Amino acid sequence: MKVLFTTLREPSHLLAITPFISAFQRGGHEVAVAAPPDFGERVTATGATFFAFGHPGEEGLKGTWARMRGMSTEELKQIAWGELFAGLCAGAAIPGLIETIERWKPSLVASESHEFAGHVAAAKVGVRHIRVAICAEAAEHEIRSCAAPYVDAHRRSWGLPPDPDGEQIRKEGAVTLFPPSFDAKDPAGSPVLHFRVAQREAAPLPDWWNGSNAPFVYMTLGTVAGRFEAIHATYRAMLDAIADQPVRALLTVGSNLPLEALGDVPANVHVARFVPQDDVIPHAAAVLCHGGSGTVLSVLAAGVPMVIVPQFADQPYNAERVAALGSGIALPLVNVGREALGEAVSRVVREASFRTAARAIADEIRALPLVDEVGSALEERE
């Protein structure tokens, strides 16, 4: 089988679909990834063939970015998922993607769930298309709803049957690494196949705390939050919340945060730009995070309870599901203080019910088929 993945130029989106790219490669399938031109080096590093498609460029997007300043969360979602991703980005990508599909002739096009040119191009050429769900289903449903009118406009402009309600998007098959219990299903949604990645044994934690054996707390707001000044206060609140706790903590901040923005770092906290999450999360008594899908999936698979301070995008949906399943605590999106953070961390470390719920989800994930079975599973569904 020849499989063509499509993705926006977001490193976290490519990272989210990489387990499926690798699984098809291990299964002997021919794999390529189509993305904007400046993503070629990242794609090539996965071992997949790279095909470039069009992108509006910073000049083409700057007006939309400017309009988004000061908007509410709901307004931001409508513009980012609708006008930006499904509208401008997909519109620029579709012509080149159609050309690639006609030339390379894949038997399957698999688009990460924020990339909609793949849906239109595959329909135009008559190739099977699936969605790689990189968020929980509640977020996926809203992404599709925001995108529907823009995708419909693209379909009409390319001579395809209209789809004003987004029915064609909803009924497409999907694959995901989220466990079934985490998905608040859209009753009219697409059939979803759930898989897991193989877990490797975590490396020992370095001794960043001078021999302390206190409960370990891992803290992160992801790889991009540091570029937003409005979020810097959340880092400070996290440090203050942990300072007086009987724990040892690791805070990772990514490459964008100026370290001086943190101020004084408590003695029980080690700060790093980046560590492999799968090496530290299994050691944790709790994880304090933003609720990004990649981090949440790793924490769920490890059976660790979490405290989530969501910032944007799919993070509020993940926080809601974690709280609903009893495997952690969700805090407000804005103005969260050190007291609330400290109490929440203390509770998930101290109260056994959170770890029990988290371990139940980890058991559910371990019972799922390995992602290496994705190729045969999709061939059976043809």
pLDDT digits (tens, 9 = 90+) for 74-105: 788 888 899 999 999 999 999 999 999 999 99
User: How far is the CA of 351 from the CAs of 183, 236, 280, 356, 359, in angstroms?
Assistant: 25, 25, 21, 9, 14
Instruction: For residue 371, give both structure tokens.
Output: 């992602």
Using CA atoms, how far residue 275 sits from 29, 220, 338, in Å, is 31, 10, 25
Q: Which amino acid is at 129?
A: H
Residue 317 structure tokens: 């949906």
- In this prediction, residue 185 has a pLDDT band, given cuts at 50, 70 and 90, of low
CA distance readout (Å), 199 to 217, 326, 362: 20, 23, 11
How far is residue 163's CA from residue 147's CA, in Å, rounded to a whole number?
11
- Give, to the nearest 10 degrees, the angle between helix 232-243 and helix 338-350: 50
Helix (H) or strand (E) holding 13: helix 11-26
Residue 333: strand, helix, or coil: coil
Answer yes or no: is pLDDT of 266 > 60.
yes
pLDDT band at 19 (very low <50, low <70, confident <90, very high): very high
Residue 228 pLDDT > 60, yes or no? no
Position 38 pLDDT exceeds 60 = yes
Question: At 226, is the pLDDT very low, low, confident or very high (cuts 50, 70, 90)?
Answer: very low
Residue with tokens 């390319």: 158
Residues whose CB is less than 8 angstroms from the CB of residue 321 and which lie 6 or more positions away in sequence, other chains included: 136, 138, 182, 184
Alpha carbons 80 and 74: distance in angstroms, whole number: 10
Q: Is the pLDDT of residue 186 over 60?
A: no
Q: What span, in angstroms and rounded, lies between the C-alpha atoms of 309 and 300?
A: 16
pLDDT higher than threshold 90 for residue 59: no
> Which tokens is 267 given?
């003695």
d(CA 187, CA 170): 10
* Of 255 and 364, the one with more pLDDT: 364
Highest average pLDDT, of 114-128, 188-202, 299-313, comes from 114-128
Mean pLDDT rounded to a whole number for the chain: 90
What backbone phi and psi angles, to 5 degrees, belong to 72? -70, 165
Provide, rounded to the nearest whole percent, the portion of the chain with pLDDT above 70: 95
Residues 1 and 112: their CA atoms lie apart, in Å, by 19
Q: Which amino acid is located at 68 in the chain? A: M
Residue 98 near residue 117 (C-beta atoms within 8 A) = no
Q: Is the pLDDT of residue 230 over 60?
A: no
Burial of 109: CB neighbours in 10 Å, binned 0-12, 13-18, 19+: buried
Q: Residue 36's closest CA among 109, 77, 76, 91?
A: 91
Q: How confident is the model at residue 126 (pLDDT cuts 50, 70, 90)?
A: very high
CA–CA distances in Å: residue 5 to residues 17, 150, 316, 340, 375: 8, 21, 27, 42, 13
- Nearest-angstrom CA–CA distance, 199 and 266: 32
Q: What percent of the chain has pLDDT over 90?
A: 69
pTM of full prediction above 0.85? yes
